[in-house]
Amino acid sequence: MASKVPRVKLSNGQSIPILGLGTWGSPPGEVAQAVKDAIDIGYRHIDCAHVYQNEHEVGEGVNAKIKEGVVKREDIFVTSKLWNTFHRPDLVEGACRATLKNLGLDYLDLYLIHWPMAYKEGDALFPTDENGKTAYSDVDFVDTWKAMEKLVGLGLTKGVGISNFNSKQVERVLQVAKIKPVVNQIECHPYLAQVKLSPFCAQRGLVVTAYSPLGSPNRPWAKPDDPQLMEDPKIVSIAKKYKKTPAQILIRYQIQRGHVVIPKSVNKARIQSNFEVFDFELTEDDIKLITTFDCNGRLVPITSSDNSPYYPFKAAF
């Protein structure tokens, strides 16, 4: 079954479906079914990561659909990410192989450095020092990048990229890269529209993948009085105009900016609804209006790491 999702060409010749299923924070035990539902609906791009601790479920869902003959492996674009405790160059290949083992796959389509800062190596995903603060490793991400490039030659991943890197960090990777990063996956939604970082990446041949496009309503640290993007009256009124849901407007907003977008859900009706974004277009005025909501409203600031020299969110963009 061919999927009707448009694809975006990456600088290495690969193409990535512009809409994918995100799996961050999805409840354990529900991810495999969500992936199966998504593939049945027509999704061909699944985004996962070691730190989400559900890659085995993602793999279960993907492999079930391959076995049923709904899709072939090459029809599905699978992205995963190198966690912060594996930045040391000698650990990168093993981390990638562990992800592949969890997924039950022979290769990834895209493997990203999840964050620019490195954590202390070991079994803890969020290691701490004796004061309970984040424990870092002094690995520089440009050295991690060189190890990432080797994975392509080994056939473990087709493409490599970065995530949560600011403009200066993107530039530093490009200066050393023999294989260029094809994607920078960043938080992006109307409250954090990335009006500088997005064109900066595009000019350098990196495609932006937008995570938390719906404002990450289920993020564990949300406070009761935090603004809810999907309830924003201005978004709601645009949704009414198009007879669409606020989520569909927010997803369409990213697509029309040329961003790959990975909304997350385990609810079949919502996974279906999030997919129904190819039968309408926002006007340029709508897009301009939505972009004016930008207030640098970062929802995933990972402030526990803001004392790392590689913390990305102190730069202008």
What pLDDT is stored for residue 227 in this prediction? 87
**Residue 242: active-site member:** no
What pLDDT is stored for residue 166 in this prediction? 98
Establish whether 114 is an annotated binding residue. yes
The CATH code for residues 11-299 is 3.20.20.100
What pLDDT is stored for residue 4 in this prediction? 85
What pLDDT is stored for residue 218 in this prediction? 87
DSSP for 103-142, written as a single string: HT-S-EEEEEE--SSPBPSSS-SS-B-TTSSBPB----HH
What pLDDT is stored for residue 2 in this prediction? 57
Q: Using one digit for the tens of pLDDT, what is the confidence trace for 219-246?
A: 989 998 888 999 999 999 999 999 999 9
Which ranges of the chain have pLDDT less than 70? Answer: 1-3
Q: Using one digit for the tens of pLDDT, what is the confidence trace for 185-208?
A: 999 999 999 999 999 999 999 999
Q: One of 52, 107, 253, 311 is an active-site residue; which one?
A: 52
Q: Which residues, other chains included, contact 109 with Cβ-Cβ below 8 Å and sequence gap of 6+?
A: 14, 16, 76, 77, 78, 79, 157, 158, 159
Which residue from 188, 189, 170, 168 is spatially nearest to 180, judged by alpha carbons? Answer: 170
